[in-house]
Amino acid sequence: MEKKLAVIAVSGGMDSCVTAAIASQNYELAFAHFNYGQRTEKRELKAFNDIADYYNVKHRLIIDFSHFAKIGGSSLTDKNIEVTKADISNKEIPNSYVPFRNANILSACVSWAEVLKAEAIFIGAVYEDASGYPDCRPAFYEAFEKMADLGTKPETKIKIVTPIINLSKAEIVKKGIELNAPLNLTWSCYQNEDEACGVCDSCAFRLRGFQQAGIEDPIPYKVKPNYK
């Protein structure tokens, strides 16, 4: 039987890679990627294409969200704001938060999914064991699915699936290994494109996940602090 199609939002990071691995168990994959003027745009796009090649993905959509660089308000898209060193224990929203980014990403995914007649959208948001961005909350995704159902054609029914939202980073690493996800092809660092910095929010949560799982992270790091 032919598999149904699902759109996966793939940044090229570990979380979206493991999300794609999970989706591939039940769906044919369509990969969407977003350039939004983030510092590591080129490196992320390479990771996206490498992961898409690994999964033999035919449907690929690369979207330029140039408005985030114009809008600013985040250290990821405004070079005048420094990417702060991670403070994992701090529960405030870090300055790497890109305002309402995931709603923009999901809205474009819904547009594409409606045309492709895809049945689901997968996004690798992580809430508990991550930076606490508001657009990573489970309740946000539930509200988004309802809104999307009201804003699309009556025959369009699209599930918003967040399969790793309640996993710890260590559990995500283990799930990736279990499913043969190509973690060596992924890129998570917010700061650098050659060697991961090891100290930004994204590196810190990723490294702690590998350290807690007792597995060596296969990508190169400039420094590897102990986050356990």
Least distance (Å) from a second copy to the CB of residue 68? 7
Residue 138 or 220 having the CB closest to a second copy: 138
Least distance (Å) from a second copy to the CB of residue 52? 16
Residue 104 or 211 having the CB closest to a second copy: 104
Dihedral angle, C-alpha 113, 74, 143, 6, nearest 10 °: 20
Residue 113 or 167 having the CB closest to a second copy: 113
Residue 93 or 223 having the CB closest to a second copy: 93
Tally of CB atoms within 10 A around 214: 10
Least distance (Å) from a second copy to the CB of residue 159? 15
Least distance (Å) from a second copy to the CB of residue 22? 23
Tell me the DSSP string of the chain: -PPPEEEEE--SSHHHHHHHHHHTTTSEEEEEEEE-S-TTHHHHHHHHHHHHHHTT--EEEEEE-THHHHH--STTT-TTS--PPP-TT--SPPTT--TTHHHHHHHHHHHHHHHHT-SEEEE----TTS---GGG-HHHHHHHHHHHHHHS-TT---EEE-TTTTS-HHHHHHHHHHTT--GGG----SS-SSSB-S-SHHHHHHHHHHHHHT----S-BS------
Q: Give the residues lining the site for a second copy (CB under 8 A).
A: 61, 63-64, 66-68, 70-73, 93, 97-104, 107-108, 110-112, 114-115, 134-135, 137, 139-140, 143-144, 146-148, 150-154
Binding residues for ATP: 10-20
Residue 1 or 150 having the CB closest to a second copy: 150
Binding residues for Zn(2+): 189, 197, 200, 203
Least distance (Å) from a second copy to the CB of residue 28? 18
How far apart CA 188 and CA 219 sit, in angstroms, is 10
Binding residues: 10-20, 189, 197, 200, 203
